[in-house]
Amino acid sequence: MRALPDALPKPVDPRWSDLRTRLASALVLGPLAVFCVWYGGWAWVALLLVAMAGLGGEWGRLAGVGHPYRLGFILGLVWLGAVLLGPLGGLVCLGVLWAGVGLSWGGFAGYGVPYAGLAGVVVLMRGEEPGGLADTAFLVLVVWGTDIGAYLAGRLIGGPKLAPRISPGKTLAGSAGGLLFAAAIGAVFAAIPGNMVLGTGWKAAFMAGMLLSFVAQGGDLLESAIKRKLGVKDSGRTIPGHGGLFDRLDGFLAAAPVMALLALCVQGGVAPWR
């Protein structure tokens, strides 16, 4: 008769069951994103192309478009228009292609063009001076801070749900943790000498970080509502532990246009991509 083991393995706390996979994905994708933001140029532009094309393909599948990566090709054309003509030209391309996709494949498919493409156009502000690098890095850090703060606070504190009918896993504590952590990270980044985020100091950056975090969480809830309406758990299977690109970039898609508007207003009415 075999002897029983001295101790059975401890069961995994369900609150942290996905932590290992999330960390592994973050360790792979995080440094890549940081390099592209810092280096700018072709690396940042290429990253935007991959993201926009991938988001287009995911939306094509969600919309039931035959050969869904045709929509990814459409988003690639928006990217090309923005690269060749500048962000304003990219916005014109986006509007024209939005109308064309809506007429050809239906309204829901058409909505994917501005949903996935608008952020890709406006974050071309990375290549503009002054402030393109600082503003873009601030945006990325605040969105990451929102996700990290919400994940940790939600699982450590728990408590009442934020929107149980839309996303049962999100809590009020997680939302508050995301807001505060994102704002704190934004303020610390802006306080570093040389990082004049939005042309202002750390106090204004704290408030801007809180606003962007709030918008990013709204984008997260919007994507959750869309998935619930369609009856799917994830937008795709691109990123282990996170689902699809929309699952990972939903907050970024919502916050990027707001960041561009903040830069436009704070910098004396001059667009950050002038």
pLDDT 10s digits, 214-273: 999 999 999 999 999 999 988 877 765 557 899 889 999 999 999 988 887 876 444 443
Looking at residue 190, its pLDDT comes to 86
**74 Cβ partners below 8 Å, 6+ apart?**
56, 97, 101, 113
Rounded to an integer, the average pLDDT of 12-39 is: 75
**Percent share of the chain, pLDDT over 70:** 85
Cα dist from 23 to 33, 143, 148, 236, 243, whole Å: 15, 16, 11, 19, 14
What would the pLDDT profile of 180-203 be if each residue is shown by its tens digit?
999 999 999 988 887 767 666 788
Q: Tokens 């009415």 — which residue?
A: 269
Non-local CB neighbours of 12 within 8 Å, separated by 6+ positions: none
- Rg for the chain, CA atoms, rounded: 20
CA neighbours closer than 13 Å in the CB half-sphere of residue 175: 20
pTM over 0.75: yes
The pLDDT of residue 80: 94
Mean of pLDDT over the chain:
86
